[in-house]
Each structure stands twice: as C-alpha cells, then as structure tokens.
Amino acid sequence: MKEIENIVLRAADPNSPSAARREAFGELVVRFQDMAFGCAFAVLGDVYLAQDTAQEAFVVAWQKLAQLREPAAFPGWFKRIVLTQCNRLTRCKRLQLVPLEDAATIDPGPHASAERHDLLAKVLRAINALPENERLVTTLFYVNGYTQADIGEFLEVPVTTVNKRLYSARQRLKDSVVELFKSDLQQQRPSRDTNFSNTVNTKLRPFHDPDWPTVSAIASERAGDDAPGHELWLNRRQKFDESRYFRRHYVVENAEAKQIIAYGAVEQTVYLPRYRLLLLSDPQWLKLGVGDLLLDRLMDDAREAQAIVVSCRQYASETELVNVLKSRGFAETARVLDLRLNVATADVSHLETLNRGLEDDGISISTFAEERVRDPRCVEKLYELTTLLSQDDPARGPLVPPAYNAREALMWMEMKYVLPDAYFIAKRGDEYIGVSDVSLFEAVPRGLTQGFTGVKREYRRRGLATTLKLSGIVYAQTHGYQIVQTFNQPEQEAIRALNAKLGFEVLFENLTLEKCLRDVVAVEPRIYDEYAGPYRDNDRPDLDIVVRNEAGRLTLESIGQKVELFPTSETHYFIKPFYGEVTFHRDERGEVNSLDIVMRVPNSNPTDPVNVVKIR
C-alpha cells in the first residue's frame, strides 16, 4: 500500500515535470488495468466495452488525480470512477450492450469450435446468475490472480468479506465452470496487450497555438470540402479575445500515433452567462468515449466560470455527436436550414418588370438609409411593421415582442453589421408594408446574409416579397459579393419555396442544443398571475417594469427589453441573457407588493438591489 501511495504522490505532484508525472501514472495503469477491466466486465458483460470503459476510467482518474486527498485511498477511489463510467454507459444507452450470456460470441476466433461456444455461453450464464457482489469478487479474483487483500482495498471491504463472497460463489459454481471462466477471462485481460496502457497515457491536453492547422483540417473535414464559412469559423476562434471573455479549449490525441483526433472548447459570448460549446471529432472516436472525455472537462470549466447556459450549434447530420449531447442533458432548442445562393448565377432579370407592376399599384421600394433622412418616425414604423409581421411567422418565439423604445430600437439599427442602403422597405405612400434586408451578420467570406422578409397580409400575392429579396441580390451583385446566405426553419414553408425559386440551395441543417446549468423548479401557474402587473421605482420614474404571465412563462419587460424569468424557488428567479436575479416580496396580507433586481456578476460584488413597487 505504501508503494501505491508513493506512486500516486509522484503522479499528482504539481511541481514535477509533466513527463515524470505521466510516467508515474503509467505505473498505476499497469498495476490496475486488469482490476479496472475485471470490474467493468462484471458490470457490463462485454469484453470490448469493458476495455473501453477501463481506458476511459483511467483518463478520468488522470484528470481528477489532484482531487484525491488521501493517496493511499487510490484503489477504492479509482473503483468508484470505473463504476461511474459503467453506470454512465448503461444509463445513456448510447451503445448496445451484449448480455453476459452472449459475450462468448463476440470474437471467438476463426477456429473455435461450436462446442466451446456453447460451453462458454453456459459458463457465462452461470457467472451472470451470481449475486452482483459475488460476481464482482469472482471476476477480480480470476482475471489476474489478485489477492484477497488487493480486492478488498479496491472494493473497500474487509478481507473477510472478500473470502465469504468468494466462498459463496464457489459453492454455486462447479469447478469446471470456474476453470473455464478463469481461462477465458485471463485471455482477455488488458495486461496481455501493451496497447491498452499506451492508449490510456493520455488522451486530453490543453490546446496550444501550433494545433490550429490540425484543428482547422478536422473542422473542414467535418463540414465538407465545399462548405463556405470555414474560414470565418477559424478566424473567430483565432481572434477570440481571451482578455475580455472566458475560454477553455483542449485537444484529444491518439496516444499511439500522437495525432490530434478531436477538439473541444467553451467560449463566453457577449451575453455573459451564455457560453458556446464547440466539439469536433470523427464519429468513430466519439464511440470510444472522446465526446464524454471532452464534455466532462468542458462542463466542469463552464461551471467554474459560473455559466448559466451552454449551447452548441451542430450539423444535424452529426447524429453521433448530437446523441452524445442529448445523453448529457442538452435539449434541442432550434433547427435551422442554412441556404446559399451563388450571386453570379442568380437570375434577376425580371426585377425591373416587377418594380413597374408595383409602381402601377402605388408601391415603391426604398431603403433604411433613405427613409431615415426622409421620415422622422422611420425607426418606430419599422419596429411596428416587424412586430406585426412576426405574428404571421410560423417560427416565431413564444414571447410577444416588447413595446417600442426609441433608444433600444435605434441601437440595433446602428449595429456595425447593418447595411442601411441594403435594408429594403416597401412603401405605399407613407405606409411601410414590407421589409427585407441583407447584412454582414453571420455572413460567410465575400458574402452577405439575407435576413427576415415579410409583407403585410393585404399586400401579399403581388410579387412584393420576390421584389424585396431580388433587391438584396442585386445589391450583392453590384457590390462585388459572391454569396448570399439565408436561414429558414423547417416550418417556414412559404419563404423556403420562394428561396428555392430564386435559386437558393440548402447547404446544411443546423441544430442548436442547449443545457441550463442552474436548477429550474416548477411553480404553480397561479403564482405567475399574482406577480403579473406594472412596477415602478419611485426614485427613477423612467424605470417602468411590466411583469407578465405569457402562456405559463413569466416575463419582465423594461426600457424596450424583455426577458424570461426562470424560478429557483417560488419567489426567486434568474435571467439567462445576463447575470440578473429577481426576488418577489409580499406584504403582511400576503399580497405581492414589490420586487428586487440584483446583478451578480462572477468575481465581483453583487449590485445593490433595485426595489420596485407594484402599482395597484
């Protein structure tokens, strides 16, 4: 035991060179590899899954070794890691487990006889029939001749308990069954193959700048050779401002080839509590646990940074990765089709004819740049129009847009990606009746993104939406852009049909999967009704707040912004887009009379609560 303790101390010593720590950990792998395999095999009943699970357990142990307070307790601590990996595998059901009675048929060898197949299957059925604690002791005892003391330390039970369980198992099994089981199990043990320990040492390491070319190649391969946007993805990763926003990223290496096989990162977004998750890996490595390896580390990092939401945008075709994310509690929140148009081949010849027809109806096409000079109410009218049009959008969100606020609306219109002379507005007289824009938002290199296109109901079926979209395409042509990108959700059938008619082609289907790292509790809907109503800060008359129950969702609106409130208790709520918390208060009669708003930014003191009183 003292020897194990010394090895663990050397492997966990933060002052030792990395190579020395890895070498020490390699000694632990050699000593415990058969123990880990035997433990996993007793639970899973599958040779290959047991080997993979044992390898993953060593990787987790390497990552968390610094958390082991008592080095002498390594055997029992490591056993719990092995069982956790087994439980994760069986709970997630990502792989088809082979029952013990079928394990004999996995890889019997080309010359194995049918008689041995049958006999070994009977042996495994007999082992499987043992109580779990006896099956575990028996497997560990025969996998590599471990002593009862070794097994006791690993299982954290007295030697006398090990002996009783082993004796009881022997009484249930015939000697011939025991010998055949021992023989077959020892043939499968990892110590017979040096590849096991080579694979374990070690998979995950922090990212370094020289890794970019390899990571870029992996990203390009996963997206496809012809996928525009790869340069933008890589540019954003390389220029990520770590002085302002939190980021942790890693690569996973194939130990045998010393080759990077996967990349993972968590990046803080401008919405500070919301983090972006990035995962790149070939499906074959995901099946071997690379996804779990990265996610274990990245989610720990996100929690350390006090993230509230972690979201991942992934190709729908990456089914293995999507399944891994869903098995870890991520839920699909959006499904979007990414469409691209080759500007050079786009047919815009009928735009002039469409414009003449609209002019006969008194309809003209203007731009935000022109209207802002001409009409003082331009921004307000645009907001009213887009709010109205959003009601007919089949992909609209569950919340009603907030009331118009001049400062807030103008701030969005002045974002650097907005192109005022490419924000097209259809007018009849002074009435705004339709809108479509192209911008630099999410644009691929040498490309533009065409955003929301909509027309008032009474002006539809006149070619107006087509005219607006063609105006954006002509803008791209005349300004030297090569690609127009747009996004549709599957349920937006009408605009999808129009895009197809104009020559847009679906390049990808993207999924957004999201996980909230804070617990959300269920609250009685009537409580939301009691909270709903207007609130006011008597010291700040400009700070009017409205709380609403919107179809079972509690929202708070103020100064042109609306957020959803998520309950951690009946009275306490948090906000996902920023580090805000809201607490409702009642008076002595039990009626809601005020609320507090507090900002709790990590690594800084919380702001003083802003108390606003409910207006009755």
- The residues that bridge with 540 in the sheet, in sequence order, are 537
Q: Are residues 261 and 344 in the same domain?
A: no
Question: Are the CB atoms for 581 and 568 separated by under 8 Å?
Answer: no
Determine, yes or no, domain membership for 112.
yes
Determine, yes or no, domain membership for 53.
yes
Q: Angle between the 148-155 and 74-92 helix axes, to the nearest 10 degrees? A: 60
Residue-number span of the structural domain to which 394 is assigned: 340-516
Q: Are residues 548 and 480 in the same domain?
A: no
Q: Are residues 217 and 287 in the same domain?
A: yes
Determine, yes or no, domain membership for 221.
yes
Nearest to 418 by CA among 396, 382, 449, 446: 449
d(CA 473, CA 339): 14
Tokens at 156, concatenated: 């954290």
Confidence grade of residue 193 (pLDDT, cut at 50, 70, 90): low
Q: Give the chain's domain count.
A: 4
State how beta strands 423-428 and 431-439 pair: antiparallel
Please report, for the domain that includes residue 447, its CATH number.
3.40.630.30
User: How many Å from the N-terminal Cα to the C-terminal Cα in the chain?
Assistant: 72
Tokens at 500, concatenated: 């197809």
What pLDDT was estimated at residue 187?
62
Confidence grade of residue 103 (pLDDT, cut at 50, 70, 90): very low
Determine, yes or no, domain membership for 334.
no
pTM of the model: 0.68
Q: Are residues 33 and 181 in the same domain?
A: yes
Determine, yes or no, domain membership for 409.
yes
Q: Are residues 583 and 466 in the same domain?
A: no
Q: Are residues 183 and 259 in the same domain?
A: no
pLDDT tens track for 64-73 = 888 888 888 9
Out of 147, 177, 199, a domain closes at: 199
Chain centroid offset of residue 188 CA: 36
Lowest-pLDDT range of 11-20, 497-506, 507-516: 11-20
Out of 516, 549, 584, a domain closes at: 516
pLDDT of residue 170 exceeding 80: no
Q: Are residues 242 and 194 in the same domain?
A: no
d(CA 537, CA 192): 74
Please report, for the domain that includes residue 563, its CATH number.
2.40.128.50
Determine, yes or no, domain membership for 88.
yes
Out of 177, 199, 221, a domain closes at: 199
pLDDT of residue 298 exceeding 80: yes
DSSP, residue by residue, 382-414: HHHHHHHHHTT-TT--SSPPPPP-HHHHHHHHT
Q: Are residues 192 and 207 in the same domain?
A: no
What pLDDT was estimated at residue 257?
62
pLDDT tens track for 373-422 = 999 999 999 999 999 999 999 988 888 999 999 988 888 888 999 999 99
Q: Are residues 492 and 544 in the same domain?
A: no
Letter for the amino acid at 405?
A: N
Letter for the amino acid at 591?
A: E
Tokens at 38, concatenated: 């035997």
Please give the DSSP secondary-structure letter assigned to residue 450.
E
Which H/E stretch holds residue 540?
Answer: strand 540-550
pLDDT tens track for 529-574 = 999 999 998 888 778 899 999 999 999 999 889 999 999 999 999 9
Determine, yes or no, domain membership for 307.
yes
pLDDT of residue 604 exceeding 70: yes
Determine, yes or no, domain membership for 444.
yes
What pLDDT was estimated at residue 145?
67
Q: Are residues 7 and 97 in the same domain?
A: yes
Q: Are residues 104 and 30 in the same domain?
A: yes
Q: Are residues 146 and 16 in the same domain?
A: yes
